[in-house]
């Protein structure tokens, strides 16, 4: 079973699961990450990449849930599952 707390990103950097990630302007605040059981959201630093990614390979987006904002996997939010087929919440 893969390590669900840390992985190597697309550029080979080690990234770890975070409860929240700082999102700069226009938000300028810490935003909680969706608590997926089988994947996690991380801050991507590679040139030409989206700023936030999911470990399934999709980019991540900030969504407004009415009760607050959250970073979510774009594919999971639109398709109901990650690119790998999983989609469980903790």
Report if residue 60 sits inside a domain. yes
Report if residue 48 sits inside a domain. yes
Report how many domains make up the chain: 1
Report if residue 90 sits inside a domain. no
Q: What is the pLDDT of residues 33-81, one digit of tens each?
A: 999 988 999 999 877 889 999 999 999 999 998 889 999 999 999 999 9
Report if residue 1 sits inside a domain. no
Q: State which residues form the domain around 69.
A: 6-79
> What does the pLDDT read at residue 85?
79
Report if residue 62 sits inside a domain. yes
Task: Please give the Cα distance from 13 to 36 (Å, whole number).
Answer: 21
Q: How many residues does the chain have?
A: 90
> Which pTM was predicted?
0.86
pLDDT surpasses 70 at 30:
yes
């Amino acid at each position: 079973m893969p390590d669900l707390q840390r992985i190597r990103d697309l550029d080979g950097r080690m990234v770890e699961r975070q409860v929240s990630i700082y999102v700069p302007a226009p938000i300028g605040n810490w935003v909680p990450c969706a608590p997926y059981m089988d994947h996690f959201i991380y801050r991507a630093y590679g040139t030409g990449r989206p700023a936030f990614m999911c470990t399934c390979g999709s980019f991540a987006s900030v969504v407004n849930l009415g009760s607050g904002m959250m970073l979510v996997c774009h594919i999971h939010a639109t398709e109901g599952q990650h690119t790998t087929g999983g989609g469980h919440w903790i």
